């Protein structure tokens, strides 16, 4: 009986319920706070520095925050996902958009690997002989 109780205690201790926040912690009324933002300085004061700035196309600042929920041996789930997008032109904020859980699309990760165009496939022996002479001995500083 003691062994069963001990086993159950060990099993139940592995079933923790934890929530960790990832990314930005947005204020409750983030939509109203960023609706009146006109400059990037105001946006930085309210939310902070963006996680990502787009490189191509429109200059968009992206902020993301979510709660990652751990439920024992099950896969973690995400709730309270929020994305703040701010379109920026110079030092002016042109437009903002706040997306929540229901607004975000479900992304399905494909199985397998992405093929690389013009990739050279080598077997183990070819890899071994291909690397001969590429590395200098340690301490030579080359």
C-beta neighbour count of 66 within 10 angstroms: 19
pLDDT of residue 140: 59
Region of residue 77 (left: phi > 0; alpha: psi -120 to 50; beta: else): beta
pLDDT in tens, 51-103: 999 888 889 999 998 888 887 777 778 888 888 889 999 899 999 988 888 88
What average pLDDT does the segment 21-47 reach?
A: 88
CA Rg value for the chain = 25
Longest dimension (CA), the chain: 71
Residue 138 has pLDDT above 80, yes or no: no
Residue 31 has pLDDT above 90, yes or no: no
Q: Strands, E, within the chain: which ranges?
A: 17-23, 52-53, 60-71, 77-89, 92-99
Torsion of CA 43, 47, 106, 70, to 10 degrees: 180
Q: Which residues contact 73 (CB under 8 A, 6 or more apart)?
A: 14, 15
């Amino acid at each position: 009986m003691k062994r069963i109780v001990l086993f159950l205690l060990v099993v139940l201790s592995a079933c923790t319920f934890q929530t960790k926040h990832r990314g930005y912690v947005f204020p409750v009324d983030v939509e109203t706070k960023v609706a009146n933002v006109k400059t990037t300085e105001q946006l930085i004061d309210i939310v902070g520095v963006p996680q990502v700035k787009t490189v191509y196309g429109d200059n968009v600042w992206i902020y993301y925050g979510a709660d990652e929920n751990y439920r024992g041996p099950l896969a973690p789930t995400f709730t309270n996902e929020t994305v703040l997008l701010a379109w920026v032109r110079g030092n002016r904020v042109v437009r903002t958009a706040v997306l929540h859980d229901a607004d975000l699309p479900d992304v399905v990760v494909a199985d397998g690997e992405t093929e690389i165009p013009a990739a050279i496939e080598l077997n183990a022996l070819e890899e071994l002989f291909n690397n001969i002479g590429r590395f200098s001995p340690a301490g030579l500083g080359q």
